[in-house]
């Protein structure tokens, strides 16, 4: 049987001979769908150059440089997100993505905005986790003027020039946290919401919906003013330690932001009888949270899915590059994961 020729390949794929030659020799661009047709045809007829064609497909893919500006390099959660984002970028088969993950330990808006402008000089698109602030919005406006789309990740921003948002439904997250505490507590008492910053929209929305659910469905619980941790475990430890000493009727803590390791540290100082009377709901998925769940100290974690959200973010960033001229904002809402002591994988 004669070996299939380039002409046979072109006829089977329904393309011209010159198109196949361009792909084989890398002498010109070929549309992605046409490349797939040629590869399918080559596999079907047993074309000898299938390996070379697959390499040409890879070489023919668009190259993109994506920057991800995260926070607090010392927090295991952000390290997990960095790994998940890098893995999601590498899994794409429709583009060759060069991921650049940057951690910003200085959470001030001045530092974040300066970093945004710096990484925007070389990136095709930028994703950022940050508190909302006019200086951040100004930096996003500047990048939009340069043709660099910026996507808010995890927590949305008010910047009119942001190109997109990828996150969870924070209204539902807050109400779900309230449901867990009100349904699992051994009676009415005091509940204390903690946030990292009043400028994180995701936390502010969840805090409001947490209170909304409690007012509607658990009015016998007394909800305190929201306490601020500044995303620092040591602050969270001091706050919860003081609450435990001063509030004998404490029934629940909603850790709506960073600081879960500090909360757990304070809880571990209590006798088991007191621990069992306090319900904790958090939004983390790191190793300390998993340990707290396995110990039974955490009732539930309503966390951002490490597999789905990075994939959605990469998809949005790729789409935005192809439609830089549009002023519309692309929004992707991903269901949050619900982890409990009985469902957690250790």
**Most distant pair of Cα atoms in the chain: their distance:** 88
Strands (E) across the chain are located at 63-71, 96-104, 125-128, 150-153, 164-167, 190-195, 222-223, 227-228, 250-256, 279-282, 300-303, 330-333, 337-339
Q: Tell me whether residue 319 is in a domain.
A: yes
**Cα 228 to chain center, whole Å?**
22
The answer on pLDDT for 218 being more than 60 is yes
The answer on pLDDT for 298 being more than 70 is yes
Q: Which residue has the higher pLDDT, 320 or 55?
A: 320
- Asked if residue 67 and residue 43 are part of one domain, the reply reads no
Q: Cβ distance 20 to 9 under 8 Å?
A: yes
10 Å CB burial of residue 41 (0-12, 13-18, 19+) is: buried
Q: Which residue has the higher pLDDT, 3 or 284?
A: 284
- Burial of 134-155, coded b for 16+ CB within 10 Å and e otherwise, reads eebbbbbebbbeeebbbbbbbb
- Asked if residue 121 and residue 30 are part of one domain, the reply reads no
Q: Cβ distance 157 to 217 under 8 Å?
A: no
- Asked if residue 123 and residue 215 are part of one domain, the reply reads no
- Label the pairing between strands 337-339 and 300-303: antiparallel
User: What is residue 253's predicted lDDT score, i.e. its pLDDT?
Assistant: 98
Q: How large a percentage of the chain has pLDDT more than 90?
A: 73
Number of other CB atoms surrounding residue 189 within 10 Å: 17
What number is the average pLDDT over the span 57-82?
Answer: 89
The tokens of 115 are what?
A: 């970093």
Question: What is the tally of structural domains in the chain?
Answer: 3
Q: Out of 33-37, 153-157, 311-315, 328-332, which region has the weakest mean confidence (pLDDT)?
A: 33-37
10 Å CB burial of residue 187 (0-12, 13-18, 19+) is: exposed
Mean pLDDT of the chain: 92
Contacts 24+ apart (CB under 8 A), 44-47: 44/12, 45/4, 45/8, 45/9, 45/12, 46/4, 47/4, 47/8, 47/9
H, E, C per residue of 265-292 = HHHHCCCHHHHCCCEEEECCCCHHHHHH
- The CATH number that applies at residue 132 is 3.40.50.2300
Q: What whole-number distance in Å separates Cα of residue 24 and Cα of residue 317?
A: 30
User: What is residue 246's predicted lDDT score, i.e. its pLDDT?
Assistant: 94
Question: Quick one: CA dihedral 84, 164, 175, 219, positive or negative?
Answer: positive
Question: Tokens 């064609």 sit at which residue?
Answer: 53
The pLDDT-based confidence of 346 (bands split at 50, 70, 90) is low
- Asked if residue 285 and residue 179 are part of one domain, the reply reads yes
User: What is residue 9's predicted lDDT score, i.e. its pLDDT?
Assistant: 86
What number is the average pLDDT over the span 292-298?
Answer: 96
The pLDDT tens digits for 328-345 are: 899 999 999 999 999 987
- Asked if residue 98 and residue 29 are part of one domain, the reply reads no
- Asked if residue 288 and residue 192 are part of one domain, the reply reads yes
Q: Tell me whether residue 174 is in a domain.
A: yes
- Asked if residue 330 and residue 216 are part of one domain, the reply reads no
Give pTM, 2 decimals. Answer: 0.83
Q: Tell me whether residue 77 is in a domain.
A: yes
The pLDDT tens digits for 79-89 are: 999 999 999 99
User: What is residue 1's predicted lDDT score, i.e. its pLDDT?
Assistant: 54
Q: Which residue has the higher pLDDT, 215 or 18?
A: 215
- Asked if residue 279 and residue 196 are part of one domain, the reply reads yes
Q: Tell me whether residue 341 is in a domain.
A: no
Q: What whole-number distance in Å separates Cα of residue 231 and Cα of residue 90?
A: 30
Q: Tell me whether residue 329 is in a domain.
A: yes
User: What is residue 325's predicted lDDT score, i.e. its pLDDT?
Assistant: 67
The answer on pLDDT for 285 being more than 60 is yes
Q: Tell me whether residue 344 is in a domain.
A: no
The pLDDT-based confidence of 262 (bands split at 50, 70, 90) is very high
Query: Helices 201-217 and 170-184: crossing angle, nearest 10°?
Result: 40
List the end-to-end C-alpha distance of the chain, in Å, as a whole number: 56
Q: Cβ distance 72 to 258 under 8 Å?
A: yes
- Asked if residue 144 and residue 54 are part of one domain, the reply reads no
The pLDDT tens digits for 133-158 are: 999 999 999 999 999 999 999 999 99
- Asked if residue 326 and residue 208 are part of one domain, the reply reads no
| Domain span at 272 | 170-303
Q: Tell me whether residue 276 is in a domain.
A: yes
Q: Tell me whether residue 290 is in a domain.
A: yes
């Amino acid at each position: 049987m004669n070996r299939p020729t380039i002409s046979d390949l072109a006829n089977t794929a329904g393309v011209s001979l010159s198109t196949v030659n361009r792909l084989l020799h890398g002498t010109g661009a070929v549309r992605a769908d046409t490349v797939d047709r040629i590869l399918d045809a080559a596999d079907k007829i047993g074309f000898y150059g299938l390996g070379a064609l697959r390499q040409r497909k890879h070489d023919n893919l668009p190259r993109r440089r994506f920057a991800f500006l995260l926070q607090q390099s010392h927090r295991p959660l952000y390290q997990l997100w960095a790994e998940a984002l890098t893995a999601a970028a590498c899994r794409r088969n429709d583009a060759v993505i060069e991921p650049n993950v940057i951690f910003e330990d200085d959470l001030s808006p001045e530092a974040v905005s300066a970093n945004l402008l710096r990484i925007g000089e070389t990136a095709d698109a930028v994703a950022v986790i940050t508190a909302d602030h006019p200086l951040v919005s100004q930096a996003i406006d500047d990048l939009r003027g340069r043709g660099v789309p910026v996507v808010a990740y995890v927590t949305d921003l008010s910047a009119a020039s942001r190109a997109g948002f990828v996150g969870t439904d924070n209204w539902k997250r807050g109400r779900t946290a309230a449901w867990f505490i009100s349904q699992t507590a051994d009676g009415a008492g005091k509940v204390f919401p903690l946030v990292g910053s009043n400028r994180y929209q995701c936390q502010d929305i969840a805090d409001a919906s947490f209170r909304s659910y409690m007012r509607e469905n658990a009015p016998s619980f007394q909800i305190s003013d929201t306490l601020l941790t500044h995303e620092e475990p040591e602050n969270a430890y001091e706050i919860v330690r003081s609450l435990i000493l001063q509030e004998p009727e404490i029934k629940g803590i909603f850790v709506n932001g960073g600081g879960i390791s500090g909360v757990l540290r304070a809880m571990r100082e209590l006798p088991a009888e007191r621990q069992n009377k306090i319900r904790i709901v958090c939004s983390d998925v790191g190793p300390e949270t998993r340990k707290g769940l396995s110990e039974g100290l955490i009732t539930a974690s309503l966390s951002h899915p490490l597999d789905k959200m990075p994939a959605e973010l990469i998809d949005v960033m790729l789409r935005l590059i192809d439609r830089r001229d549009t002023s519309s904002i692309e929004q992707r809402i991903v269901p949050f994961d619900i982890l409990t002591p009985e469902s957690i994988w250790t």
